[in-house]
Amino acid sequence: MEHEIAEFIESLKLKNASEHTIKGYATDLKEFKDGFPDKPVTAIGKKELTNFLAGLRRYGFDNSTANRKLSALRSFFKFLVEKGTIAKNPAANVKAPRKESKLPSFLTEESAEKLMDTENLSPRDRAILETLYGTGVRASELIGMNIGSLDFVNETVTVLGKGSKERKIPLTRTAIYVLKSYLANRNMMERDAPLFLNKYNQRLSQRGLQNIVNKHIRMVAELRRMSPHTLRHTYASVMLNKGCDLRTIQELLGHASIASTQIYTHLTTEKLKQAYKDGHPRA
């Protein structure tokens, strides 16, 4: 199966799939292959796939993780069908585990402002936090930004989202100010140079970004789950609380479906419930 997986990963690179997607699919498919080391791809059927997913749940993986791995397997076997290696996709009719209803982790507006006002931040870290909170971009979109992605004249930044879809997002005045301050000390200023660099002057990685954001969030809030996406969720909930409509938030976040954006209405509902409990004498 190793040879077929390598061919599939190479096909993703030729299609300009994101580095995040390629790494994720490679990891998921390796885990699957390791579970069936002696089976060729032609011998893999629905039974093996359902057993693999059941094993994930036994080892404590949540349904979202299982769904992601199933998506990788569906794409892999679809590739093999198109290539003529197998006759039909064994993953096509495998039922995806039901997703747990989890509200995203986010900061209160007060905590977000406290985070933005943190003292002694490096110019790079301050620019990262202001850009994440001020635009709501995904982690992959932020680390994919180049110098040329910024348009200070029109106060926008261009990002490449899921499915290689490009969109322009407004920049806050504060984000523009801190970005200019950060860039004032940069040597690499070519348009195609990475916007955010690590200490080796290379493009910041996903893990590097997560470490930076998590370190600073811990200073202002206690959250069970935190990541760069915490600021994306915070951005959306703040926009909704300020009266922005869901369609506009959907477009700003780059969601393909309004259903993905509607999760933020649950955040505001929870906030209203808490305010009711705190304020009503019979609550």
Structural domain for 69, as ranges: 2-83
Return the SS3 of 254: coil
Q: Is residue 125 over pLDDT 80?
A: yes
At 272, the pLDDT band (50, 70, 90 cuts) reads low
Q: Kindly state whether residue 178 falls inside one of the protein's structural domains.
A: yes
Name the residues annotated as catalytic: 138, 162, 229, 232, 255, 264
Q: Kindly state whether residue 96 falls inside one of the protein's structural domains.
A: no
pLDDT in tens, 76-121: 999 999 999 999 999 988 887 776 556 678 898 999 999 999 999 9
Same structural domain, 62 and 144: no
Residue with tokens 């089976």: 39
Q: Distance of CA 22 to CAs 5, 13, 75, 76, 204, Å?
A: 11, 7, 12, 12, 17
- Could you please report the per-residue DSSP string of 52-101? HHHHHHHTT--HHHHHHHHHHHHHHHHHHHHHTSSSS-TTTTPPPPPPP-
Q: Answer yes or no: pTM beyond 0.75.
A: no
Which range is least confidently modeled, 141-150, 213-222, 262-271?
262-271
Q: Is residue 134 over pLDDT 60?
A: yes
Same structural domain, 70 and 189: no
pLDDT in tens, 160-176: 998 889 999 999 999 99
Q: How many domains does the chain have?
A: 2
Q: Is residue 222 over pLDDT 90?
A: no
Q: In this structure, what CATH number is given to the domain that contains residue 36?
A: 1.10.150.130
pLDDT in tens, 184-202: 988 889 999 999 999 999 9
Q: Kindly state whether residue 90 falls inside one of the protein's structural domains.
A: no
